[in-house]
């Protein structure tokens, strides 16, 4: 199974990004990502045996209990690579929860499945983003687009990606609500301790 952890977007955010995709739609060299595929990848796992699934689901639920919901923002666009010929046009995502979740997933995978299970994701630093279009043939860059988008991130998901001739098909295997119960338990126990004194 080809798998990744991701955060998907609410409809109003997707609508704004789809409108922005109109900037590259006029050029045949760019192929826009389908609206229902717009997401922030937290960790790409590549091909994993079905036997890993129980560990991957358990990790998602455990991190969901540890991390609280957070606010995500999109302010502008960029290219990968930034210099030379771009292959990907993306919207930059900001929010303190992105890095915390991505790092937690990496650590959890390393502990449960070993370093080898992280190889598919590469060693590039994590940069939360939403891929808007991929360049398939020569086509010009479009000027930066400025957004003022914001939304509450309340869950993330483990996703199966099947590569088909007409493009990938994503199937959400499980959603993990962000509860932050661990932090709340710590606050409550700290409060109880202070009352004891």
Catalytic amino acids? 39, 129
Alpha-carbon distance 39 to 47, whole Å? 19
CB-based burial of residue 166 (10 Å sphere; 0-12 exposed, 13-18 middle, 19+ buried)? exposed
Buried b (16+ CB within 10 A) or exposed e, 71-86: ebebeebebeeeeeeb
Beta strands in 95-187 (DSSP E): 129-135, 149-153, 155-164, 167-177
Going from the C-alpha of 12 to that of each of 19, 44, 65, 76, 150, the distances in angstroms are 11, 26, 27, 16, 10
β-partners of residue 177 are 155
Cα distances (angstroms) measured from residue 123 to each of 46, 69, 87, 104, 118: 14, 27, 18, 16, 9
């Amino acid at each position: 199974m080809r798998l990744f952890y991701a955060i998907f977007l609410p409809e109003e955010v997707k609508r704004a990004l789809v409108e922005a995709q109109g900037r590259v739609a006029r050029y045949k060299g760019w192929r826009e990502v389908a609206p229902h595929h717009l997401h922030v990848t937290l960790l790409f796992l590549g091909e994993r045996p079905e036997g890993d699934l129980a560990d991957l689901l358990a990790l998602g639920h455990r991190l969901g209990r540890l991390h609280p919901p957070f606010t995500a923002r999109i302010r502008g666009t960029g290219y990968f690579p930034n210099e030379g010929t771009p292959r990907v046009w993306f919207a930059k995502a900001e929010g303190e929860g992105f890095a915390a979740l991505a790092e937690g997933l990496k650590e959890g995978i390393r502990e449960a499945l070993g370093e080898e299970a992280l190889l598919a994701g590469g060693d590039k630093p994590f940069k939360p983003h939403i891929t808007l279009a991929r360049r398939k043939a020569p086509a010009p860059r479009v000027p930066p687009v400025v957004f003022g988008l914001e939304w509450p991130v309340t869950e993330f998901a483990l996703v199966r990606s099947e590569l088909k001739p007409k493009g990938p098909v994503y199937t959400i295997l499980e959603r993990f609500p962000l509860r932050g119960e661990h932090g709340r338990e710590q606050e409550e126990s700290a409060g109880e301790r202070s009352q004891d004194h």
